[in-house]
Amino acid sequence: MSLTNLLDLLPVEIESLVESLGAPRYRGRQIADWIYRKGVTDLDRMTNLPRELREALAERASVDVPAVERRTPSQDGSQKFVFRFADGARVQSVLMPDGDRLTLCVSTQVGCGFGCAFCLTGAMGLDRNLTTGEIIGQVLGVVRTLPAGQRLTHIVYMGMGEPLANYRATVGSLRLLTDPQALGFSPRRITVSTVGLVSAIERLAHQDLRVNLAISLHATDNETRNRLMPVNKGFAIEELLAACRRFPLPFRQRMTFEYVLLDRVNDSPEDARRLARLLEGIRAKINLIPFNDWPGAGFSRPPVPRILAFQQTLLERGITATVRWSKGEDIGAACGQLSEAVVA
């Protein structure tokens, strides 16, 4: 019988597990406190639990934090972590400092099945989904490496994979991140990015998670988006934006639209004007992402004046637009550059 990874369970579910072993429910809260407050994942070191419970629990469960196979620092202060799981699958996470913010970008799948033309992860194809525990394990694995007194402030689901195509595990991990008995993050400090899976966006709208949603748009007409993002053939821009308009945004929160700028593909003045028109009526902000190169990509980054002109066109139309110069480009950790082989 395979062991249950306790990182797959909410604290209330750990309570139910220990109750099934004949222990009072509060023991489950103690276990969650060891894992998420004290960083202890060895059941034998959870010394306020009765030995009998620890022994019984060890026959049913474990706490599996993936091993850090590589850790690569960037000149800009960011770090790329390569996590390896028991089956040989690898994913990458990126730690990004920015002033008083420390953001971790996590992966939700080994590879990605959506094949966006400008994204190296998409060129891998999809190997498998991650479990809730494997997503949370990236967070705990990085936290272990932080100096004393330093803590993560933000989590973004912008690593390898499409979070909403791994819906159950993504939602499970979001509940653990925001559970006060687990990691206790404010939902406002968590952002989930999606290529635009309309049905999953609508499911997420009913979860009352109140996290930030980021839509990977990257084009202003269906012909271009079909070419860049095959998902658009199933969920056209008009259908996607209609779902965005229906999405219940918390007070003072805005939806983020990500737009990778590709030289002579989607960076014209008309593209900028059309983007502004498309987002009318949506409480939106736009992250403009100058393309990050990778071998064989077939795209290039627009010249800086054209990037800034695109931004200025949006600003003049009253849309908040920032240029996101990706961190970690020198170590292959920037937006669209993550890729790992699967090794048994």
CA terminus-to-terminus distance, the chain: 22
Q: Which residues contact 90 (CB under 8 A, 6 or more apart)?
A: 69, 82, 83, 84, 110, 340, 341, 342, 343
Return the residue matching tokens 């967070």.
139
pLDDT-above-70 percentage for the chain: 94
Pair of tokens at residue 85: 């799981």
Helices assigned H by DSSP within the chain: 11-20, 26-36, 51-58, 120-124, 132-143, 167-178, 198-204, 222-228, 237-246, 269-278, 304-316
Per DSSP, what are the bridge partners of residue 194? 215
pLDDT on residue 328 = 57
Q: 294: pLDDT confidence band, cut at 50, 70 and 90? A: confident
Residue 214, helix vs strand vs coil: strand
Residue pLDDT, tens place only, 62-120:
999 999 999 999 999 999 999 999 999 999 999 999 999 999 999 999 999 999 999 98
Residue 155 has pLDDT above 70, yes or no: yes
pLDDT on residue 287 = 96
Residue 334 has pLDDT above 90, yes or no: no
pLDDT on residue 338 = 61
Residue 232, helix vs strand vs coil: helix
Instruction: State the pairing for strand pair 4-5/90-98.
Output: unpaired
Residue 343 has pLDDT above 50, yes or no: no
The sign of the torsion formed by the CA atoms of 222, 109, 192, 203 equals positive
Residue (of 110, 158, 154, 150) closest to 134 by Cα position: 110
pLDDT on residue 123 = 84
The sign of the torsion formed by the CA atoms of 310, 315, 321, 326 equals positive
Pair of tokens at residue 116: 């966006």
Residue pLDDT, tens place only, 127-145:
999 999 999 999 999 999 9
Instruction: State the pairing for strand pair 90-98/79-84.
Output: antiparallel
> What is the rounded distance in angstroms from the CA atom of residue 13 to the CA atom of residue 192?
24
Tally of CB atoms within 10 A around 111:
23
Residue 333 has pLDDT above 60, yes or no: no
Residue 341 has pLDDT above 90, yes or no: no
**CA angle at residue 182 from 176 to 197, to 5 degrees?**
15
Q: Which helix (H) or strand (E) holds 105?
A: strand 101-105
pLDDT on residue 124 = 87
Residue 103, helix vs strand vs coil: strand
Quick one: DSSP state of residue 333? Answer: -
Q: Which residues contact 318 (CB under 8 A, 6 or more apart)?
A: none
pLDDT on residue 344 = 42
Question: pLDDT: is 329 or 273 the higher one?
Answer: 273
Q: Which domains occur in the chain, in start order?
A: 4-62 (1.10.150.530), 67-331 (3.20.20.70)
Residue pLDDT, tens place only, 108-134:
999 999 999 999 888 889 999 999 999
pTM score: 0.94
Residue 337 has pLDDT above 70, yes or no: no
Q: 295: pLDDT confidence band, cut at 50, 70 and 90? A: confident
**Mean pLDDT score of the chain, rounded to an integer?**
94
Q: 251: pLDDT confidence band, cut at 50, 70 and 90? A: confident
Cβ 107 vs Cβ 34: under 8 Å: no
